[in-house]
Amino acid sequence: MPRSDRTSQCPAMHNALAALLSAALVASNSTALTSADADGDKWVQLVPAGTFSGRAGGGPWTTGDRASMETIVANTRQYAGSTDLVIDYDHQAVFGAVPGVGGTARAAGWIKELQARDDGIWGRVQWTAAASAAIKASEYRYLSPVFFHDKTSGRVLAIRMAGLTNTPNLDLVAVAASALLPNNNPTGDNMDKILSALGLAKGTNEDGVVAAINAHLTSSTAIARAAGLTEAAKPEDVVTAINSIVADRAKFAQAAGLTAAAKSDEIVTAVQSAVAGAKPDPTKFVPIEQVTALQNDVKELQKTLTADKAEEAVNSAIKEGKLAPALKDWGLDLYKADPKKFETFAGSAPVLTTPQLKTPKKDGTAAEALTEAQLAVCSQLGIKPEDFKKTLADEAKA
C-alpha cells in the first residue's frame, strides 16, 4: 500500500490491534478471476459489503456499511505497517508458518492499496510475471482473501492476505492466529499494559479495544486537521505543527504580560483587559469629529464677529467724515484683512466736510480741479484723482 495511505500509530495501539486479531478467527472468501485481471495493476474485490457466506457454508460474516468497511481498511493498514499484503499460492504463506506443516510461500502478487467502496473492499493488485501467466493460462482461477473476524458475531476485523487457489472458500478456522501474529498472548500482563495504554479497564473485551483504537484514530485525524494539516499527515508532521502552535501561544502569552505557561483563560482575560485599557477616558478626551466641528463653528463665529466689527468701524469712519461713503466696500475689505491697518488709516485721515468733498457746481457738473485736502485724501488712500473726481460727480448728481 502507498506510504501516503499508511498511518504510524503508537506501539501500544499497534499491540492492542495485534492482541485483538490474535484472539480472532481466520477465514477466507473467494473471488473469481479472469485473464483481464492479470494485466498490470488491477483492482479486484476482496470481500463484499454487508453479510455474506462462503460457498462451502462458511460464515456468515459481515463487513457492515461503508463506515464499517473504512474501519476494516484502517485496521488492515495499521496491521500491515510499512509492508504490502502478500498474495501467495494456495495459502502456503499460512501453512508454511504453522510448525510441522511446511510448505513454500512464494508471492504471486502484492496488494498495494485498499479502498472501501459501496459494494465491498477492493484491493489494487500488482501480480508477478509468473502469476500473471498462470491466470491467463487458467492455471489459477480464484483469489481467496484471508481475513480476521470475530468468532461470535462474524464481524470482519481486518484483511490478513490473499492467495491464488483453485479450491475457493478454504476454511482456515483451524489455523492458529499465533502463526500469523508475533503477539500470541491476548491476556495477562501484556494485554493489561495495552488496556492501560488505551485508558481501558482490565478485562475489557474485544469490542471495547476496537472502539478505543478507532477513537484514537479519529482523535489523531482531528488533531491533524486542527493543526492545519490533512488527515494523511505523518505523526512527525503533526508534532511539528503542534509544537509551532504551542510556541506561538507562549509568545502571545508573554506579549500579554503573562508567563509562557499561562492558561488559555488567563491569556484571554489579559487581552480583554488590555483592549479595555486602550479605550480613551471620555472625561479627558473628545472624539476628533466633535473637535473638528467645534473648530469650524469657532471659525464661523470669528468671521461673523469680524464682519460686525468691520461694519461698525467703517460706518463710524463715514459718520466722522474720514471715509467717503463711496469707499465703504473698500473700507470693509481692508478691515477684514487687517483691522489695525484700517484703524491706522481712519486715525490719520482728515475730516472730509461737505465743502471739502464737494465743490460748487458749474452748469450742473463738479469742478474740474480738486482741492488740496481732496488730493491729500487720494494720496493717502491710493486713489487716482480722476476716479475721485468721478465719485464726486456721481454724488453731485445723486
Q: What is the pTM of this model?
A: 0.41
CA dihedral 374, 380, 384, 388 (to 10 degrees): -40
Instruction: Tell me the three cell numbers of residue 158.
Output: 481486518
Specify the pLDDT at position 120. 92
Contact between 71 and 214 under an 8 Å Cβ cutoff? The reply is yes
Distances (CA, A) of 280 to 8, 189, 273, 274, 376: 55, 66, 14, 12, 64
Cα(146)–Cα(161) distance, integer angstroms: 5
Contact between 155 and 74 under an 8 Å Cβ cutoff? The reply is no
Specify the pLDDT at position 118. 92
pLDDT in tens, the chain (398 residues): 444 444 444 555 555 655 555 544 444 556 667 666 666 678 888 888 998 887 666 778 899 999 999 999 999 998 888 889 998 888 787 665 555 555 567 898 999 999 999 999 999 999 999 988 988 888 988 888 888 888 788 898 999 888 888 876 533 333 333 333 344 444 556 667 777 777 788 777 766 776 777 666 666 777 777 777 876 777 778 778 777 877 777 777 787 788 877 887 887 887 777 766 666 666 666 677 777 877 887 788 777 888 888 888 888 888 888 788 888 888 888 888 888 888 888 888 777 655 444 444 444 444 467 877 778 778 777 788 888 888 888 877 76
Cα(111)–Cα(5) distance, integer angstroms: 13
Instruction: Tell me the three cell numbers of residue 199.
Output: 485508558
Cα(114)–Cα(110) distance, integer angstroms: 11
Indicate the helix (H) or strand (E) that contains 388.
Answer: helix 385-397
Instruction: Tell me the three cell numbers of residue 144.
Output: 481467496
- Cis ω on the peptide bond leading into residue 60 (within 30° of 0)? yes
Contacts of 351 (CB under 8 A, 6+ apart): 320, 321, 322
Contact between 114 and 1 under an 8 Å Cβ cutoff? The reply is yes
Specify the pLDDT at position 360. 47
Specify the pLDDT at position 368. 60
Contacts of 11 (CB under 8 A, 6+ apart): none
Specify the pLDDT at position 153. 86
∠ Cα 125 130 136 (to 5°): 75
Single-letter amino acid code for the residue at 322: K
Instruction: Tell me the three cell numbers of residue 346.
Output: 481712519
CA-nearest of 202, 234, 238, 199 to 216 is: 199
Cα(75)–Cα(81) distance, integer angstroms: 10
By CB atoms closer than 10 A (0-12, 13-18, 19+), residue 33 is: buried
